């Protein structure tokens, strides 16, 4: 039995590796074309290379953290407000990349290697997470879409997304299998890799309610109740801990929130206070105005979009097949984004944690459907690389 399990594990790892490596070769080709197309108006200039594209944009912030750490005194703009700084980024990814870079010959090599390897590991875990719910074939297609998706370039950039997805997929799989003990360290790793662990706290709360409501059909032992309460409390504490740490180090209790708001000021002016859910409502009007539509239509469209997504999570049979844990995660993460984020062009990157929910597109068995989705993924990936890296010259071309 153990030998058979070992062969199965090796087979899964090899199959996913073939998918993932092929996808990375395609992305590398897209990077090469983008570097050739980069011109003087691009952030990367006419002499762009694949390595310079891979270490662009927020990759530079992680590099600063690995090299210099976090500022003890917050930088301020000419108007006296807190300026963009490293406190907006978590430490796990740059610290691991720096450690790996000591072996590979420098931080950039370590950062890219970590992103690539974490992306592969996340692909394997995604397959394992999905196969018992939607079948092996559909789960493998979900991995194909994931590895070739619109944001797949991030698997070859100095960004923390692939590492976060690895922790998240492991935590969701542990939750599905009710291996609660594994989730505790994963919550800490998630919380200090990328913002968003408060969404996981909400997931644990909703999961607890779900289990309580269904306790007649699905027994809820005391040990599970203790774990659910403990995991929810830990995720909440970790979710707010970075604000406390930033406040202690800088001497400014509002250091983290003011840092995050610094990224909004180019859009909304001198906003000083954070108000939950206000960002999406405000941005909806701004974007509709940019598109030449009445700004008042923006919030209406946002409400319709939220209602539509809620109906999909509740009613769509393909989504229902994913199971309650993944569906509750989708709802929790979307509520989190609505509460804290101001949607800019980077909204697409922030949607990556919804990958397990998006796997529903792999459920239909039609080969033409799956090939069509793959072509759409590749076309969207090239469009993202072209806009954000080859052009990368305006406020709506920021990854």
Provide the pLDDT for residue 270.
62
Q: 286 is written with which tokens?
A: 């701004």
Tens digits of residue pLDDT in 177-189: 999 999 999 999 9
| Comparison of pLDDT for 328 and 279, the residue scoring more | 328
Over 80: is that where the pLDDT of 268 sits?
Answer: no
pLDDT of 3 > 60? The answer is no
Other Cβ atoms closer than 10 A to 242: 20
pTM of the model: 0.95
Q: Report the pLDDT value the prediction gives residue 5, as an integer from 0 to 100.
A: 58
Task: Report CA Rg, the chain.
Answer: 21
The answer on pLDDT for 6 being more than 50 is no
Tell me the mean pLDDT in the region 296-300. 85
Closest by CA to 152, choosing from 350, 390, 16, 352, is: 352
Virtual CA dihedral for 150, 156, 159, 163, nearest 10 degrees? 90
With a cut of 60, say whether residue 2 has pLDDT above it: no
Q: What is the pLDDT of residue 125?
A: 97
Residue 196 neighbours by CB distance under 10 Å: 21
The residue extents of the domains of the chain are: 7-391
Average pLDDT, the chain: 92
């Amino acid at each position: 039995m153990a030998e058979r399990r070992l062969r199965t594990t090796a087979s899964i790892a090899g199959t996913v590796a073939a998918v993932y490596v092929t996808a990375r070769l395609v992305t590398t080709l897209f990077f090469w074309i983008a570097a050739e197309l980069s011109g003087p108006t691009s952030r990367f200039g006419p002499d762009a290379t694949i390595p310079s594209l891979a270490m662009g944009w927020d990759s530079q912030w992680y590099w600063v953290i690995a090299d210099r750490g976090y500022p003890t005194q917050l930088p301020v703009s000419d108007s006296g407000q807190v300026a963009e700084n490293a406190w907006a980024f978590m430490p796990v990814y740059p610290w691991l990349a720096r450690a790996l870079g000591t072996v590979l010959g420098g931080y950039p090599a370590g950062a890219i290697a970590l992103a690539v390897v974490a992306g592969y590991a996340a692909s394997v875990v995604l397959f394992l997470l999905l196969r018992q719910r939607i079948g092996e074939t559909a789960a493998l297609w979900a991995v194909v879409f994931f590895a070739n998706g619109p944001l797949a370039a991030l698997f070859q950039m100095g960004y923390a997304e692939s590492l976060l997805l690895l922790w998240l997929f492991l935590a969701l799989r542990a939750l599905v299998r009710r291996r609660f003990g594994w989730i505790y360290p994963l919550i800490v790793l998630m919380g200090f890799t990328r913002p968003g662990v408060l969404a996981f706290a909400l997931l644990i709360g909703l999961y607890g309610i779900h289990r309580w409501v269904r306790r007649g059909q699905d027994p809820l032992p005391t040990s599970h109740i203790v774990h659910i309460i403990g995991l929810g409390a830990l995720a909440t504490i970790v979710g707010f801990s970075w604000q406390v740490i930033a406040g202690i180090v800088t001497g400014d209790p509002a250091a983290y929130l003011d840092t995050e708001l610094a990224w909004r000021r180019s859009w909304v002016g001198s906003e000083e206070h954070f108000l939950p859910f206000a960002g999406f409502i405000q941005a909806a009007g701004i974007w509709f105005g940019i598109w030449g539509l009445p700004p008042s239509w923006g919030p209406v469209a946002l409400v319709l979009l939220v209602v539509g997504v809620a109906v999909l999570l509740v009613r769509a049979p393909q989504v229902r097949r994913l199971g309650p844990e993944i569906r509750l995660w989708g709802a929790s993460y979307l509520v989190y984004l609505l509460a804290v984020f101001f949607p800019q062009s980077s909204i697409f990157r922030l949607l990556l944690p919804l990958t397990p929910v998006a796997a529903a597109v792999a459920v239909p068995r039609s080969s033409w459907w799956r090939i069509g989705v793959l072509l759409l993924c590749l076309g969207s990936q090239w469009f993202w690389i072209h806009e954000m890296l080859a052009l990368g010259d305006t406020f709506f071309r920021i990854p």
